[in-house]
Structure 1
Amino acid sequence: MRSFDLTPFYRSTVGFDRVFSMLDQLSGGDQSQTYPPYNIERTGENAYRISVAVAGFAEPELSVEIKENALTVKGEKKQSEEKKLGEVLYQGIAGRSFERRFQLADHVLVQAAQLENGLLHIDLVREIPEAKKPRLIPINGKQIEQKLAA
C-alpha cells in the first residue's frame, strides 16, 4: 500500500483543519518541523493563531504579508558591523533568513500580528459572509417564493 505524506499541506493551511485532520489521521502522517518552528492553534470556533519562533530577530527584521489567500512571514537578519567582544565557540541560535508561507482558506482574515518574547503571534479569524451561512427553512406546508434579481 502506498502512503502519501500530507504534512506539508496540513502545516501550511489555516481553516481547512477538519479536512486535513481527517486525511492526516487516515494516513498516519508525522509531525516533523522545519526552520523556523511554529504552532497553529485554534483559539475559538472561527479564530486561529499562528505562533512562529523568531528568537534573535527584531521587529524591523520581520515582515508579514498577505496576498491572495497566502500569508507570508519573512525574516531577514541585518548584519551588524559592530565588533564583538569575544569569539563564538558554539552557535546554536539560528540567525539565517527565512520565508514561511501559509495557505489560508477562503474568508480567513488577519486581525493582528505581535512580537512577544521571541514569538511572532499572528491572529486570524474566519468571517463567513451572511449569504454563505446556513439558513433554517421553516416547514409549514406553504410554498416558499424566492425573488430572483434581474
Structure 2
Amino acid sequence: MIYTIDRANLISEQLKKFTTGYTHHVVGHYSNIYFWIGEVKEALNAIDNHKKRFDKMYDAQKDWIEEHGTIVHDFCPICGGKCEFSDGKQILPKFKYKTELLEARKNLVDSVYYFLIRCFKIELLTYDELKEKLDLIGTSIEPKDLNK
C-alpha cells in the first residue's frame, strides 16, 4: 500500500479506538483534539493532492529517461542477470490507487466524525463547538447521530 493510504488508515484506526474507549479515556484524547484534527487535515490534504504528486513524479521519471537514455533490463530469475529477452525499455509507474484513496478519505472523515459525536454525547463539547470542529474537516452533522 502507499504511504498516503497507510497514514490515513493509521489515523482512522486510532480515532476508532478513541471513540469506543472508556469515557475517561475519551476525555483524555479529546484534550488533544486540535492535534488530531490537524493530523486528519494533513492526511486529507495528502489524499486530495496525491494525483498531483504522482503526476510530478511520473513526469520527472519520464523526462530523466528521455534526457539520459536510461536503459534497465529485466531481471532474469534463471541466471540472476539481465534478461536476454528484455528490450531495456523503462516502465513508468501507473496511477492505480484511486478507489483506495477515496475509501481511506471516507474512513478518515467518518472516524473523526464519530469520535466528535461521542465527545458531544458525553458533553465534552456543545453543538456549536461540534459544528466548528466538523467544519474544519469539511463535513456536516447528521441530526440523527445527535440522539443521546
> Between Structure 1 and Structure 2, which shows a larger proportion of strand residues?
1
> Between Structure 1 and Structure 2, which shows a larger proportion of helix residues?
2
**What is the TM-score normalised by the length of structure 2?**
0.27
Determine which structure has greater relative contact order: mean sequence separation of CA pairs < 8 Å that are 6+ residues apart, divided by chain length: 2
**What is the TM-score normalised by the length of structure 1?**
0.27
